[in-house]
Amino acid sequence: MFLKKTAQPEPLQVGLKLLKWIGLHSTTSRKRIWRYYFVVGWLLGNIVLPRALLGSGNEGFDSLVRSLAEMVFFSDVCIAVGIFATRLRYFERMVQILGEIFERYETKECVEEIRGFNRRMDSFAKVYIAYIVMLVILFNIPPIIWNLYMAIFVSAEYRSSYVLLVEVQYFYLDIRRNIVHYLIYYVLCSTATVCSAYQSCIKGTIFLTALQYGAKLFELLHLRIDRLGKVKAGERRRDELRRIIELHKMTLKYTELLEETITFIMINQILNCMAIWCMFTVYLSMNYGPNALNVVVLFVVFIVEMVVYCVSGTRLSENCAALDDVACPAIYHQTTCPTVVVDVVETDASLISTSRLMNGFKFHSVLLSGDVWALHLLAAAAAAQLALFNSTPFIIAFVHRTMIDRHKINQSPRHDRGAAAGGAPWISTRPSPG
């Protein structure tokens, strides 16, 4: 159903289908919401709650670390989608604005670019789902094969404990020695991991693609500004300028709604990634063999997910910064009457200054909120990631650039002149050329 090929996919098409199936979309019957409650309840009831109430069922520091890490991992998925469920009105408005923006790009070049990007994002979402399905198979199949082999071909006195999907005392069943008890546990817990995987697919097909669509919107604006010089001077160019500014405002609105949708999800992701990566690293340094396989799978899931978040957020930040660098000079020099710019943007005097403040993106909710604690939180998360996964040093550079950009914004003479004049801080006060 979700992997079916589509000739002309719509934005976020795969993710919206996932949401509709569990009733988390306004266009579907609210009666389907029971599916969402079932998915969350089954996961919590079979993995998280037994661990929280009964412990890991095994002695040793490594067993404790693994069980805690797995509990945090599976809880993180439920928390992320749960937060998203409370932000649906922002998300649905964001999707609506995205469609309205795409409808305003009418040139053949832009239309083809949008269609091609929709196809790439559709393929990305389907590949991500296939990747999660592959990991679910790798997580569930090897343990049952190994345990059935031991139960059939290895005598009881030489048989070691069965390999568990997750380290937990599953109520009052002897899942480490009794094969019947283990099979009951396996059926219930394997379906719980499928529930977790479904929510992971929602995270990938909604949050990750929404970030990439935000980056694409700034690329399209860049193309539109580049074409401004080819438009005939006079009224046609002024009309084109008005359309560009309106598109810019809508793009900023999209990113604002994106921030409202995923800010707290990202904070939750950062905190949990630090805890989980530390605990998984400790466990893997102490254990080898069949029991480590499932831990490695969860470790890979979190690494890939976090890296893609970082790459997508960085790309959005860079595209926003690149647009800001070309927007002001292009609009000023290619417009015969700069006062037109002032007239058009009087309703939103902070248009480009807002774009500057977005230069780092609200992906980590740092710049627009201006909260010092959020900046420290991001720096701590980046430091932990750098220590545990050396291929993500760009996050440190992101934090450093963010701090520099804030300093430049506050110290900018252009900003000061605009503020002193009581007008838009980005509008140049130079006389019109010629």
Share of the chain above pLDDT 90, in %: 30
CA–CA separation, 129 vs 135, rounded Å?
10
Enter the pTM of the model: 0.75
Helix (H, G, I), strand (E, B), or coil: what is residue 163?
A: coil
Residue 23 is assigned to a structural domain of this protein: yes
Residue 314 is assigned to a structural domain of this protein: yes
How many Cβ atoms are within 10 Å of 337's Cβ, its own excluded?
12
Residue 345 is assigned to a structural domain of this protein: no
- For the cut 90, the answer to whether the pLDDT of residue 98 exceeds it is yes
Question: Structural domain of residue 320, as residue ranges?
Answer: 13-340
Residue 122 is assigned to a structural domain of this protein: yes
What pLDDT is stored for residue 1 in this prediction?
54
CA–CA separation, 418 vs 286, rounded Å?
60
Residue 381 is assigned to a structural domain of this protein: no
Quote the longest CA-to-CA distance of the chain: 96
How many Cβ atoms are within 10 Å of 384's Cβ, its own excluded?
17
Residue 102 is assigned to a structural domain of this protein: yes
Rg over alpha carbons for the chain, rounded to the nearest Å, is: 26
pLDDT by residue (tens digit) across 395-428?
334 444 444 454 444 554 444 444 444 433 333 3
Mean pLDDT of 116-120: 93
More confident position, 299 or 38 = 38
pLDDT by residue (tens digit) across 250-289?
999 999 999 899 989 988 888 888 888 888 888 888 777 6
Number of structural domains, the chain? 1
CA–CA separation, 340 vs 336, rounded Å?
9
Cα angle for residues 126, 130, 136 (degrees, 5° grid): 145
- For the cut 60, the answer to whether the pLDDT of residue 19 exceeds it is yes
Contact between residue 163 and residue 198 where contact means Cβ atoms under 8 Å apart: no
More confident position, 407 or 187 = 187
Mean pLDDT of 337-356: 41
Residue 240 is assigned to a structural domain of this protein: yes
What pLDDT is stored for residue 392 in this prediction?
37
Residue 401 is assigned to a structural domain of this protein: no
What pLDDT is stored for residue 31 in this prediction?
77
Contact between residue 69 and residue 283 where contact means Cβ atoms under 8 Å apart: yes
What pLDDT is stored for residue 241 in this prediction?
82
